[in-house]
Amino acid sequence: MGTAQQINTYSRTLPFIEIMDSTLRDGEQTNGVSFLPHEKLMIARMLLRDLNVDRIEVASARVSEGEKEAVQMICRYARQINRLDSVEVLGFVDGHASIDWIADCGGQVINLLAKGSQKHCVQQLGKTPEEHIADILDEVRYATSKGIAVNLYLEDWSNGMKDSPGYVYQLMDKLTSGGVKRFMLPDTLGIMNPLQVIEYFRKMMKRYPEQHFDFHAHNDYDLAVSNSLAAVLSGAKGLHVTVNGLGERCGNAPIASVQAILKDQFQATTNINESQLNGASRMVEGYSGIAVAPNQPIVGENVFTQVAGVHADGDTKDRLYYNDLVPERFGRKREYALGKTSGRANIAKNLEELGLELTSEQTRRVTERITELGDKKEIVTQEDLPYIVSDVLKHDAPEDKVKLLSYVVSTAYGLKPGANIKVEINGKQYEASATGDGQYDAFVKSLRYIYKKYLNRTFPILQNYQVSIPPGGRTDALVQTVITWNNDGKLLRTRGLDADQTEAAIKATFKMLNIFENEQTNNE
């Protein structure tokens, strides 16, 4: 059967695909990433409870006391929700030490690391295949006696199939009846292409048709997703992924991309709750400190933003520029960027969402102004539109309902930063002071106090805070602060620009407060 025919056949008969997320183990091997125990617990909760992955690999055995604490916390939580068998820990052929460590943590599954290539077995371990097989079987027997299930990694399996397939088959022949639940086949060095994955997986499936095979891809040639899909098309029952593609060197297959392609391109079935993919991405981005590229499929900031005006025009004419990756599916929404290539259709879409109605001539004039700003590399957001409209149409700018009258922020060695503020809200003046972890944190705590004590209202939650130099700017010029707010489930992103970082954040804050205040007034 040719490759094209094979793909067509599998795409019609794809089974359920089990997803194992390794963000907390393999993902933590990303350079510079180290999760605290409570961070690991929060990510594990998101993966199991919200995203609903089938399994999570949470650590390597015997790494540190902090790692042990994290595994114990995750196991306690997983037991409470009856998902303890979904928690897995990487362990080693080390005379039962890893198994004892996992048992002491309360774990029930070990992902045992064996050597999947003859080079690794002979040159790294200094053992014969027979000796290595005997050691593996001894570990499996001991784990079984402790009530721990065993999945087996064949490390460097891709090179094993390439250089020493006889060795791989020798291992498999001896281990298939030894109590191993899953055989996990990694492309440890990220050397494979999809055609090789199909070839090698077909050989494994032909010799061992009753076994459960997982595939674990690395992205050194930017083929992790493609190789994962090739493995599924060739009979793999499980795939290993990480959130945002975190992992050693170039990373692993990102869960969002794998999920979308499995469902849309091959009609495969998984348990993944797609609406939580973006939330998981944001959480891991925050804890890891590794920013997601704006154009990262599914979870990147810009992937549901239409920039060209012709695309916005097409969207109004029977969704001509839509595909199956609709943002609502992933808990997001489509946006239309404002800039020099926006065109009237893009701007009309933004005006429509804001409830602003302009004539064709007025829209043309607003478009010209936004194009002019775009040529100067100015960033224009949807929240800027009412002010641009007012300026272009020679109207008075909307009067701020929330005004900052005065403030003092301070910091001193050995003391917590403080803030004293005086604001005016709907014509009434209020004062407050507070301390915080930083000057801006103290400033916001003062505002929260005013809103709670004097207005009996909740203050929007700060969800994300980014500081950067504006595009085209210089390090000694302006600072741009972009803050994402959550007000009863509604997200709003505002921007402040100033030479001082705290001042820029304050500007973004008051822009947000005025937007929400105007909305509340309109709803009353």
Please give the Cα distance from 449 to 414 (Å, whole number).
Answer: 24
Residue numbers annotated as active site: 25, 155
Q: How many CA atoms lie within 13 A of 44 on its CB side?
A: 31
Residue-by-residue pLDDT tens, the chain, 524 positions: 455 455 554 445 557 999 999 999 999 999 999 999 999 999 999 999 999 999 999 999 999 999 999 999 999 999 999 999 999 999 999 999 999 999 999 999 999 999 999 999 999 999 999 999 999 999 999 999 999 999 999 999 999 999 999 999 999 999 998 899 999 999 999 999 999 999 999 999 999 999 999 999 999 999 999 999 999 999 999 999 999 999 999 999 999 999 999 999 888 999 999 999 999 999 999 899 999 998 899 998 878 775 544 343 444 444 555 568 888 888 876 766 565 545 556 677 666 766 666 777 777 777 777 777 666 545 566 666 666 676 666 544 457 889 999 999 998 888 899 999 999 999 999 999 999 999 999 999 999 999 999 999 888 998 888 887 654 444 444 577 888 888 887 888 887 877 688 888 998 899 889 888 877 766 65
pLDDT digits (tens, 9 = 90+) for 152-199: 999 999 999 999 999 999 999 999 988 999 999 999 999 999 999 999
Residues in Cβ contact with 403 at an 8 Å cutoff, skipping those fewer than 6 apart: 423, 424, 425, 510
Please give the Cα distance from 35 to 46 (Å, whole number).
Answer: 15
Residues in Cβ contact with 339 at an 8 Å cutoff, skipping those fewer than 6 apart: 307, 370, 371, 373, 374, 380
Query: Could you tell me the pTM of the whole model?
Result: 0.69
Please give the Cα distance from 435 to 227 (Å, whole number).
Answer: 52
Q: In angstroms, what CA-CA distances link 188 with 117, 191, 208, 216, 218? A: 11, 8, 21, 8, 6
Name 497's bridge partners.
Answer: 480
Going by the DSSP 8-state scheme, the letter that residue 356 receives in this structure is: -
Please give the Cα distance from 269 to 17 (Å, whole number).
Answer: 6
Place of tokens 């849309």: 264
Please give the Cα distance from 139 to 362 (Å, whole number).
Answer: 76
